[in-house]
């Protein structure tokens, strides 16, 4: 039985800047997690379906285009509709403080802004998933 943490790294919206998403995906993999990277231009529906299918414990959304206020609420709503609210959602990218606070109110577990260290992200996911389990 594989007890590795399963993470979906997803890149929603039209933006193609995937440097951050790829670095995070590799760092999580190097930290021993099972990482599924969706690739670019995923709709909230595609992301939630992939999370269901892959049976992940964590969804990491990478958004740099400023479209987070349109995209993240939709993802959270779909997770609720599908009854998988226990999945941990984190958002990384260019997210201003006031928006980060809003996203957390919607149930986002953590928002990682520019400069966040890989270590802090790995640690957060490890400790949060442990709590859920």
Partner 1 sequence: MAKLTSEVTNQSGIPIDPVYTAASTRGLELPAPGEFPYTRGIHRDMYRGRLWTMRQFSGFATPEETNRRYLYLLSQGQTGLSVAFDLPTLMGYDADHATSEGEVGKCGVSISSLEDMEILFSGIPLGDVTVSMTINSPAPILWAMYLAVGEKQGVDWSRMSGTLQNDILKEYIAQKEYIFPPRPSMRLVTDVIEYSTQRVPRFNPISISGYHIREAGSTAVQELAFTLRDGIEYVDWALERGLPVDSFAPRLSFFFNAHNDFFEEIAKYRAARKIWAEVMRDRFGAQDEKSWKLRTHAQTAGCSLTWQQPYNNIVRTTLQALAAVLGGAQSLHTNSLDEAYALPSEHAVTIALRTQQVIAYESGVANVPDPLGGSYFIESLTAEMEKRANDYIRRIDEMGGMIPAIERGFPQTEIANASYEYQHTIETGEQKIVGVNAFVEQNEPPIELLHIDGSSQQHQLEKLRNLKSRRANAKVATSLDALKRAAEGRENTMPYILDAVRSYATLGEICDAFREVFGTYTETSVL
Which is nearest to 60 in space by CA: 102, 12, 104, 98? 12
Gap between the Cα atoms of 54 and 7, Å rounded:
9
Query: Across the chain, where does the E strand assignment appear?
Result: 6-10, 34-37, 58-63, 88-93, 110-112
Give the residue, chosen from 4, 53, 70, 80, that forms a contact with partner 1 under the rule CB under 8 A: 70
What is the CB neighbour count within 10 angstroms for residue 123? 12
Q: What's the first-to-final CA gap in the chain, in angstroms?
A: 15
The answer to whether 13 contacts partner 1 (rule: CB under 8 A) is yes
Q: 3-state class of 97 per DSSP?
A: helix
The answer to whether 82 contacts partner 1 (rule: CB under 8 A) is no
Q: How far is the CB of 74 from partner 1 (least distance, A)?
A: 9
The answer to whether 18 contacts partner 1 (rule: CB under 8 A) is yes
The answer to whether 1 contacts partner 1 (rule: CB under 8 A) is no
Q: Which residues from 30-59 bind partner 1, rule CB under 8 A?
A: 35, 37, 39-41, 43
The answer to whether 128 contacts partner 1 (rule: CB under 8 A) is no
Span of 75-83, 103-111, 112-120, 124-132 interacting with partner 1 by CB under 8 A: 112-120
Measured in degrees and rounded to the nearest 5, phi and psi for residue 110 equal: -155, 150
User: Which residues here bind partner 1, judged by CB under 8 A?
Assistant: 13-19, 22-23, 25-27, 29, 35, 37, 39-41, 43, 65-67, 69-71, 94, 96-97, 113-115, 117-119
């Amino acid at each position: 039985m594989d007890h590795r943490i399963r993470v979906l790294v997803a890149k929603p919206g039209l933006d193609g800047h995937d440097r951050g998403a790829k670095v995070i995906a590799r760092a999580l993999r190097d930290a021993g997690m099972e990482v599924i990277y969706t690739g670019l231009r995923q709709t909230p529906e595609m992301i939630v379906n992939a999370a269901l299918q892959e049976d992940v414990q964590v969804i990491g959304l990478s958004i740099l285009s400023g479209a987070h206020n349109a995209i993240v609420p939709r993802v959270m709503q779909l997770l609720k509709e599908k009854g998988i609210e226990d999945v941990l959602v984190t958002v990384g990218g260019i997210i201003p403080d006031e928006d980060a606070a809003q996203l957390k109110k919607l149930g986002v577990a953590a928002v990682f802004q520019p400069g966040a260290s890989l270590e802090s992200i790995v640690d957060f996911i490890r400790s949060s998933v442990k709590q859920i389990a």
